Amino acid sequence: MTKVTFEEKYYSAVKETVYKTKLSNGLTVSLLPKQDFNEVYGIVTIQFGSVDATYTSLDKGLRHHPAGIAHFLEHKLFERENSEDIMAAFTRLGADSNAFTSFTKTSYLFSTIDHLLENLDLLDELVKDVHFTEESVLREQAIIQQEREMYQDDPDSRLFFATLANLYPDTPLATDIVGSEKSISDIQVSNLKENFTEFYKPVNMSLFLVGNIDVKVVEEYCSKKGKEVSNQFTVSKEQLLLQPVKQTDSLRMEVSSPKLAVAIRGNGQITEAESYRYNILLKLLFTMMFGWTSDRFQRLYETGKLDASLSLEVEVNSRFHFVILTMDTKEPVSLSHQFRKAIRQFSSDTDITEEHLDLVKSEMFGEFFSSMNSLEFIATQYDPMDCGETIFDFPKILQEITLEDVLEAGHRLIDNGDLVDFTIFPA
């Protein structure tokens, strides 16, 4: 048995101590004890998402798999050797379990107030091996096709992913995370097993526990579990080959009011180490320009051109970054023109001031510390394998940000960025 010890890091801004180690098999493990909670959240994250359907393998060279492969694999890993759904085993232990796939990651999580180590065993079993058959894959195709159709019938989901497809045409981001009708039907057992073998290695995974945990108990557990030596990670992930954006597009659906998205694609390079801070800077900029505290929002709201549906999505990592604003409006053409113009001329925007920045920062501080009372928020927002700053650095980063920093981030995104809009009109 190899003894495991955790290194401590204290984050004064949030008054929390995070314990972190890397096991001999390559798995990164982090703990955040919070004794004022009864519950524990455990989450395993694999650095494998929807954009990774194409990659270069050291052994096999360039590999192309059907879109949606990461999400499909997430579904199938819940199938145990005896064909039982492992979710039922979590339930018998009194735990809730779930999983989700994003553009760059796949995560499996549980929450429990008891039987922590038994639940950890189940989580370990879930990501350690595959047990599906041709027959079970065919059944799952039908289930995921239904899920895809549900998203296709949802106007907000359709708006977001259609906008994303126009930002990143002919790339993995142009297809929904679940895949397309054709790609789902093209997925086979061989695809799933190959992707599992390539990506589901401890060296490409992390485990994070937050809540009512005893560090010593977890140390002992990890000492027994980390014995097997992992193969090295032998996959090179592909950079997105950016094509010209599709500047404007629309479709018709059963909606009561038009839905508009205005979005911008960043074309510069962002390092992983700076991505978290850059994300915050862009949220500050676009909230000052379009958030409910802005003069622009109040003016549009009072004249009935905009309502509280306005939403902001910012995504930043080393492979792609974008900002998408979505809203319900009876005047999509007019608002698209106004929003595009405001974004291009952001440096002279009267809503971008020191006073407004302080107000938005205060709001973000409040929202953050409120969210930190949720174990689920912490579990799903922190990844032990993230480079650079994390959510535990958020208050420090926010406090240090100046108006000049925000404007610099704006120039970095907007000066060479590409704008698009997408509208869903009533059928």
Integer angstrom CA distances of residue 113 from 5, 48, 109, 216, 380: 25, 29, 14, 18, 18
Contact 59, 50 (CB under 8 A): no
Query: First-to-last CA distance in the chain?
Result: 65
DSSP letters spanning 283-348: HHHHHHHHSTTSHHHHHHHHTTS--TT-EEEEEE-SS-EEEEEEEE-S-HHHHHHHHHHHHHTGGG
Report the distance separating Cα 27 and Cα 77, nearest Å.
Answer: 19
pLDDT tens-digit readout, 57-82: 988 899 999 999 999 999 999 998 87
What global pTM score does this model have? 0.95
d(CA 342, CA 224): 58
The arithmetic mean of pLDDT across residues 302-318, rounded, is: 96
199-220 residue pLDDT tens:
999 999 999 999 999 999 999 9
Are 7-237 and 248-426 in the same CATH fold?
A: yes
92 pLDDT band, cuts 50/70/90, is: very high
- Tally of CB atoms within 10 A around 390: 17
Write down the mean pLDDT value for the chain: 95
CATH class of 248-426: alpha beta
The pLDDT of 158-181, averaged and rounded, is 97
What's the confidence (pLDDT) of residue 81?
A: 83
Tokens for 271, please give them: 């390092």
Pair 1, 227: CB distance under 8 Å: yes
* DSSP states along 384-424: TT--S--GGGHHHHHHH--HHHHHHHHHHHHTT-EEEEEEE
Catalytic site residues?
Answer: 74
Mode of pairing for the β-strands spanning 28-33 and 205-211: parallel
Find out whether 78 and 140 touch, Cβ atoms under 8 Å. Answer: no
Q: Return the structure tokens found at 416.
A: 């060479």
Handedness of CA 253, 342, 362, 385 (dihedral sign): positive
Residues 6+ apart with CB under 8 A from 367: none
Distance CA 70, CA 200 (A): 11
Domain ranges of the chain: 7-237, 248-426
Q: In what order do the strands lie in the sheet with 321-328?
A: 248-253, 418-426, 259-265, 321-328, 311-316
Enclosing H/E stretch for 69: helix 69-76
The CATH architecture to which 7-237 belongs is 2-Layer Sandwich (3.30)
Q: How far apart are CA 46 and CA 57, in angstroms?
A: 17
State residue 228's pLDDT score: 63
Distance CA 256, CA 252 (A): 11
pLDDT tens digits for 225-249? 766 666 677 789 988 999 999 999 9
